[in-house]
Amino acid sequence: MQKRLANWGNYPAIASEETTFTQEDQLRAYVSNHQELIARGNGRCYGDASLGKHSISMLRYDKILQFDTEKGILETQSGVTLDQILDIIVPKGWFLPITPGTKFITVGGAVASDVHGKNHHVDGAFSNHILDMDVIIGDGSTVTCAPDQNPDLFWATCGGMGLTGVVTRVKFDLKKIETAYIKQTQIKAKNLEDVIRLFEEYKHYTYSMAWIDCLKTGDAFGRSILIVGEHATPEELSAKQKKAPLTLPAKRKLTVPFNLPSFILNTLTVKIFNWLYYNKNLKREINNVVPYEPFFYPLDAILHWNRGYGKAGFVQYQFVLPLEHKDGLVKILQRISDKGWGSFLAVLKVFGDQDSLISFPMEGYTLALDFPVRKGLFAFLDELDEIVLEYGGRLYLSKDARMKKEVFWKSYPNAEKFAAIVKQYNHNNTFTSLQSERLALTK
Amino acid sequence: MPSVLILGAGSDMAMAIAREYASDKFDIQLAARSADALIPLQQDLQIRYNVKATVHAFDAGAFDTHAAFFASLPVIPDITICVFGYLGDQEKAQHDWAEASRIINTNYTGAVSILNVVAEAYAQRGSGLIAGISSVAGERGRMSNYIYGSAKAGFTAYLSGLRNRLFHAGVHVISVQPGFVNTRMTQHLTLPPLLTAQPEAVAKAVFKGISKKKNVIYVKWHWKYIMLIIKNIPEGIFKKLKL
């Protein structure tokens, strides 16, 4: 069916011919008879990665195939979303090894973006937890791959944005938990120096990230709230929570029912929001036990929050800079605060080391923030890209909707090697997306 | 555990119905031409809902196998839901008998053949519930899909007669009249979003309709009134329209 599709940023939007399937042979037949295809999960990447002339909706290919509750191993078809998985595994005492900031993504999307979470510095990215997976490649055949089986296909598929083929089945390991709660600590940091010091001080925590105010200048430049956490033990729960340690209290969901007018988000309102957010914590340090949902997925509580940015949509800008280039981070943050275009809820995190082919994370600082699409934005982001390049960093393809191809090829050290593997499996450019064409990865 | 048999379990709609019943702790019997293709769904139901799910080979077009198929089920199901259907290609069916007969045999003859068997068992036992997924396409023949529509019309009439007969035997029959449903069967069509239901919505409506022992349900409800209008257009005018 011809559909207007856009991902989470609502930019760009295109007309696409969407196909759906429930059986693998239906998909194999489709792939071998069509070109210019791209797999699409729940559309939660922000930019143009899963947009193409023909899109394959994976959402009906959503069966849980195996759940080993002893060893903590889950095998699923790739269209199942993480929120469905959590509903199944948490009551049995297991958790996702890696989860991004939303649970509304598919397993296939987690592979294609090689997602990371607040525990990257301890547990790596999603690819580090995959035991094996199936990919339908360009000629329509299914190839099983793992770190020790067709490793070139495996590593080019993890973080490969769907360009090697369609991920159909994934087997991955889970993390043992005793409760569905997180023991969290929030620490206010006066400025950037302070938060970077705190990241170092709290690096033994499994989960850590910081909310950072990108609009503040002067002494409070980069003021933040560092949030760290561990899965809570039963002893740490309240009497009420102890009664059902693996069950979360039911919560109502809010929604943004329509696109808000874009004038609502301006420098003043964002400054007010940031002030409120920073000052809601009266004490420097707060310790409490919270359900896993608000800890990992604070924004999932508001369905369609992306509509808050209006009809024009927004771009999420996420980059990583090597650990030794704190000065680059300062420089970019300065540009952002001078410009005053940034949104609330910018997120700062320190990544650990990761050995990968084309995945985004590398040891260093990563910052993510939203920019509503407006005149002059892309020119401004091009300037930021130059700084990212200068300091040896790169941008997250899952968020990207506008990077120039030169930036990609210069910033991803294995780009050539990746492109060569893609060519090998993606016969005659069967798989192409708006992003792969923009970055000259296909055709 | 109560149990439900789903005939034509490979479709998006059937999968959604299976999940709806499994979440209410029914044991599920899945039947489709290829039992192997149903194994992922079987696993899924067992893991997600902790119910018993079994898979069974069933070919709607192989009429003479239907009695043996029903006899081979692990238990006589409390509820039988007939979901299978084949939209086919109207233009092709106009001159290609193979296509036309496939449409008729799947949507009408096959359904009658298996439900006759089920009805007999339920009538003998004096209990049971049968649901048939027909279509609003069966309410008036239109040039764009009258072969499918006439087969569904036959099925709708069959269900209504069966309901009449089995009422006296303590067995309930429900006819489900979906309008457009967003499934693989209709993915090549451009459907109006407001009138198009998701398979999950159909599943919920079927579940609710069966629990409340409704006779005929429309999904979405607009269709009841749309069809009322369509059925009341005088034939002299109707034949001139291009529907």
Under 8 Å between Cβ of A17 and A53: yes
Average pLDDT over every residue of A103-128: 98
Q: Tell me: pLDDT of B190 over 90.
A: no
pLDDT tens figures, A244-285? 999 987 776 777 778 877 777 777 777 787 788 888 888 889
Residue A231 has pLDDT above 70, yes or no: yes
Report the complex ipTM: 0.91
Q: What pLDDT does residue B104 have?
A: 97
- Residue A305 above 90 pLDDT? no
Q: What's the mean pLDDT in A223-242?
A: 95
> How far apart are alpha carbons B228 and B221 in whole angstroms?
12
Which of A140, A28, A54 minimizes the C-alpha distance to B37?
Answer: A28
Burial class (CB in 10 A: 0-12, 13-18, 19+), A45: buried
Share of chain B above pLDDT 90, in %: 83
Which pLDDT belongs to residue A443? 76
Over residues A113-123, the pLDDT tens digits come to 999 999 999 99
- Lowest-confidence segment of A179-193, A333-347, A349-363 by average pLDDT: A333-347
Q: Which of A2, A21, A64 sits opposite B43 (nearest CB)?
A: A64
Model confidence at B180, pLDDT cuts 50, 70, 90, reads confident
Of residues A129 and A345, which shows the higher confidence score?
A129
* pLDDT at site A107: 98
Question: Do B202 and B181 touch, CB atoms closer than 8 A?
Answer: yes
B190 contact A CB<8A: yes
Tally of CB atoms within 10 A around A151 = 12
* CA-wise closest residue to A305 among A63, A9, A43: A9
Inter-chain CB proximity B184 and A88 less than 8 Å = no
A25 to chain B: nearest residue by CA?
Answer: B37
Q: What is the pLDDT of residue A344?
A: 67
Check A65 against B44: CB less than 8 A apart. Answer: yes
Is the bond preceding B234 in cis, omega lying within 30 degrees of 0? Answer: no
| pLDDT greater at residue A342 or residue A294 | A294
Least confident interval from A103-107, A218-222, A393-397: A218-222
* Amino acid, res. B164: N
For B188, name the nearest residue in chain A, comparing CA atoms only. A1
Nearest Cα to Cα of residue A22 among A79, A104, A105: A79
Among the partner residues B37, B48, B189, nearest to A88 by beta-carbon distance = B48
Phi and psi, residue A163, nearest 5°: -85, -15
Q: Is there a contact between A20 and B189 if contact means CB atoms under 8 Å apart?
A: no
User: What per-residue confidence (pLDDT) applies to A180?
Assistant: 97
Mean pLDDT of A284-300: 92
Query: Is A21 part of the contact surface with chain B (CB cutoff 8 Å)?
Result: yes
Mutate which: B11, B19, B44, vs A, most A CBs within 10 A: B44
Euclidean distance between CA atoms A341 and B21, whole angstroms = 50
Q: Which amino acid is located at B143 in the chain?
A: M
* Of A106-120, A309-323, B163-177, minimum mean pLDDT range: A309-323
pLDDT band at residue B243 under the 50/70/90 scheme:
confident
* Short-list A4, A336, A22, CA closest to B13: A22
A253 vs A413, higher pLDDT = A413
Residue A343 burial by Cβ neighbours in a 10 Å radius (0-12, 13-18, 19+): buried
pLDDT value at residue B77? 98
Q: B220 preceded by cis ω (within 30°)?
A: yes
Q: Which element (helix H / strand E) includes A59? A: none
* Distant-in-sequence, close-in-space partners of A116: CB < 8 Å, separation ≥ 6: A98, A100, A124, A125, A126, A351, A360, A361
Round the average pLDDT of chain B to a whole number and report it. 95
The answer to whether A68 contacts chain B (CB < 8 Å) is no
Interface check for B40 against chain A (CB to CB < 8 A): the answer is yes
Q: What is the mean pLDDT of residues B176-192?
A: 87
CB < 8 Å to A21, chain B: 184
Average pLDDT, chain A: 94
B44: contact with A, CB 8 A cutoff: yes
Partners of A18 on chain B (C-beta within 8 Å) are: 187
Report the length, in residues, of chain B: 243
A69 vs B: CB within 8 A: no
Report the pLDDT averaged over residues B140-163: 96
CA distance A207 to A321: 20
B15 touching A (Cβ < 8 Å): yes
The pLDDT score that the predictor gives to residue B177 is 94
pLDDT value, residue A418 = 98
Q: Which residues of A touch B190 (CB under 8 A)?
A: 1-2
Q: Does B191 touch chain A (CB under 8 A)?
A: yes
- Is the pLDDT at B152 greater than 80? The verdict is yes
Contact A19 B15 (CB under 8 A): no
Contact A20 B10 (CB under 8 A): no
* Amino acid code (one letter) for A52: G
CB pairs under 8 A between A and B: 46
Q: For A88, which of B47, B183, B189 is closest by C-beta distance?
A: B47
